[in-house]
Amino acid sequence: MKSIRQALVLFLLAFAFFSFNQSEKPNSSEKPPNILWLVAEDLSPYIAAFGDSTVSTPNLDWLASEGVVYENVFSPSPVCAPSRSALATGMYPTQMGANHMRTGPWFMWPLPPAAEKMFEQQEKDGARFYEAVPAPEVKMFTEYLRKAGYYCTNNSKEDYQFRRTLTAWDECSPQAHWKNRKEGQPFFAMKTFMVTHESQIWAKAKDSLWVDEDLEVPVPPYLPNTEVAKKDIRRMYSNIKEMDAQVGEMIQELKDAGELENTIIVWFTDHGGPLPRQKRLIYDSGLQVPMIIRYPNKERAGTREDRLISFVDFAPTAMSMAGIEPPAYMNGKAFAGSYEAKEREYIYAASDRYDESTDALRAVRDSRYLYVRNFKPELPRFLHVSYRDQMPIMQELYRLRDEGKLTPEQALWFAETKPEEELYDTWNDPHQLHDIAGEAALQAKKTELKKALENWISSTNDLNLIPEDSLLTKIWPEGHKPQTATPEIKKVAKADGSGSQFIVTCSTPGATLAYKIVERGGNPDNQHWNIYHKPVDAVPGKEFVVVAHRIGYNPIEIRHE
């Protein structure tokens, strides 16, 4: 009787796991497409496909001619780590407490020894590092793709405001590549191009240029039109050309492997531009990004799309492209694929702490108007960030400010206070320099956007509007980072008597379970972990290693022979 009961329990467990996995299988009998995300850092729409012909970008031009140009794409944050938390989860950073830049050294894991030493010193000097703690149901969306059979790789920036779970990627390293998958296996791959990052304005200052050293470059009215400034802007355009060449290499790899027409290529940037009053600012210069998607067989080639898209829409869209229904908890909705949703009416954004300086701004934008709510109007628009001070153009702004030589447009950034509300007509004021919040004819529009913003703040339970110390108390109720519970491993006989298998459970809600089978005493690395979703056969003479990890908690490893 005992063996019958045991067999029945195993059957029911297997049935439950089978049913769970079936819900994440692609909703199509056709082979799912590959999906390749090519992500440039810190870049506004400064390429020809978006109207800026300062430099030629032949690879992006080709992508645009064979794909769809998306003209109204926005990050929920004007800086990388919060933006990437949205890309990874389909959730607004503010709902996860992930909007401060940054919560800790989570741009890669594990950290290189030099970086680990640097952050240890910062903690000794008073810095307090933590991880965002989203709701238990929130997962990195690539976990759903992996469960559906996708091979998922990241090369290699992470920066999600939390440590990645081992279930998120098959490979996550500078060597990660979709070519390492099994034959015929669909892949999702993400490649980040660091060359356009803000830091490369000064880090590459002495490198040879990819453009003429006297190239005439456009200077936004909020930046100084001096040779010092133009030199940095010229470097930005040089870095764009270098990035374009790297994109070309990725496209050529697809062609050489015969995978071009099996792959959806998505090129975009992680937030607005690298220059002062771009990155970290809640205007279009910090939030709006270019995006081009090439679909297999040049579907919709050469077209343009003006629907509003937020980064929270990217995760559900990737799942939708793969034929997988996105989970209902995600804030975003798919803008393409099998589960494409209706167009959104607004995009939302937030701006809080950047390194040593803190403010609190929220914004909502429709297709034309941008409304900004300043929760600390007593503070200036300008927040000092010492990291940015390394850029010569920033030093040029300081010099002109101190000499009283800033133009009115440039001086706006350095005003001692700011209004509680701002409103801009982005069609007629693309740089958001003329606040029209007080215009009588626009009061109805301002009220509409203000109400939409208030509803968003309330419905998403904005955690970053509370003081950061209070946020830590909320996510760390015991005063320290929570710990994922030790998983329970049971080794039971298989129903057919052919050996044993492991059944694993974890009492922490939302914990993911990753496993490997290794030699006794072996030290598994951080690559190629399997997602536990059904009993695993034991291998005689080898160890079964499990890591349980809820996002924002400390993970825990356990072994069983």
pLDDT tens string, the chain, 561 residues long: the values are 434 344 433 443 344 444 444 445 665 558 999 999 999 999 999 999 999 999 999 999 999 999 999 999 999 999 999 999 999 999 999 999 999 999 998 878 788 888 888 888 888 887 789 999 999 999 999 999 999 999 999 999 999 999 999 999 999 999 999 999 999 999 999 999 999 999 999 999 999 999 999 999 999 999 999 999 999 999 999 999 999 999 999 999 999 999 999 999 999 999 999 999 999 999 999 999 999 999 999 999 999 999 999 999 999 999 999 999 999 999 999 999 999 999 999 999 999 999 999 999 999 999 999 999 999 999 999 999 999 999 999 999 999 999 999 999 999 999 999 999 999 999 999 999 999 999 999 999 999 999 999 999 999 999 999 999 999 999 999 999 999 999 999 999 999 999 999 999 999 999 999 999 999 989 898 899 999 999 999 999 999 999 999 999 999 999 999
Rounded to a whole number of angstroms, the CA Rg of the chain reads: 25
Query: Residues 92, 81: contact at Cβ < 8 Å?
Result: no
d(CA 449, CA 455): 10
d(CA 479, CA 457): 26
**Amino acid at residue number 491:** K
Dihedral sign for Cα atoms in the order 255, 256, 259, 263 = negative
d(CA 543, CA 489): 12
**Does residue 172 have an active-site annotation?**
no
Tokens of 169: 């990627």
Cβ neighbors of 333 (< 8 A, separation 6 or more) are 313, 316, 326, 341, 342, 344
- For residue 362, list its beta bridge partners: 350, 373
Query: Residues 446, 368: contact at Cβ < 8 Å?
Result: no
Q: What is the pLDDT of residue 1?
A: 40
Dihedral sign for Cα atoms in the order 38, 43, 45, 49 = negative
Q: What is the pLDDT of residue 123?
A: 83
pTM for the structure as a whole: 0.94
Domain ranges of the chain: 37-344, 361-475, 483-560
User: CB-hemisphere CA count at 13 Å for 24?
Assistant: 17
Q: What is the pLDDT of residue 119?
A: 84
Instruction: Supply angle C-alpha 283, 286, 291, rounded to 5.
Output: 115
- For residue 490, list its beta bridge partners: 503
d(CA 496, CA 10): 11
Query: Residues 272, 279: contact at Cβ < 8 Å?
Result: yes
Q: Phi and psi (nearest 5°) for 216?
A: -75, 125
Dihedral sign for Cα atoms in the order 206, 211, 216, 218 = negative
End-to-end CA distance of the chain: 28
User: CB-hemisphere CA count at 13 Å for 11?
Assistant: 8
d(CA 76, CA 90): 11
Arch. (CATH architecture) of 483-560: Sandwich (2.60)
- For β-strands 187-193 and 34-40, DSSP reports them as parallel
Residues across the chain: 561
Query: Residues 514, 166: contact at Cβ < 8 Å?
Result: yes
37-344 CATH pick, 3.40.190.10, 3.40.720.10, 1.10.10.10, 1.10.3720.10: 3.40.720.10
Name the residue with tokens 């390429």.
47
Would you call 312 helix, strand, or coil by DSSP? helix
Q: Phi and psi (nearest 5°) for 558?
A: -140, 150
Query: Residues 165, 551: contact at Cβ < 8 Å?
Result: yes
Tokens of 393: 């153009």
245-251 long-range contacts (CB < 8 A, ≥24 apart) are: 245/59, 246/193, 246/195, 247/38, 247/40, 247/59, 247/60, 247/63, 247/193, 248/58, 248/59, 250/36, 250/38, 250/191, 251/59, 251/62, 251/63
E-assigned strands of 352-499?
361-365, 369-374, 421-425, 488-493
d(CA 246, CA 191): 10
Dihedral sign for Cα atoms in the order 45, 47, 51, 54 = positive
Cβ neighbors of 188 (< 8 A, separation 6 or more) are 34, 35, 36, 37, 142, 145, 150, 151, 152, 153, 318, 322
**Amino acid at residue number 10:** L
Angle between helices 227-256 and 392-402 (to 10 degrees): 160
Select which of 80, 152, 172, 506 is catalytic.
80
Would you call 303 helix, strand, or coil by DSSP? strand
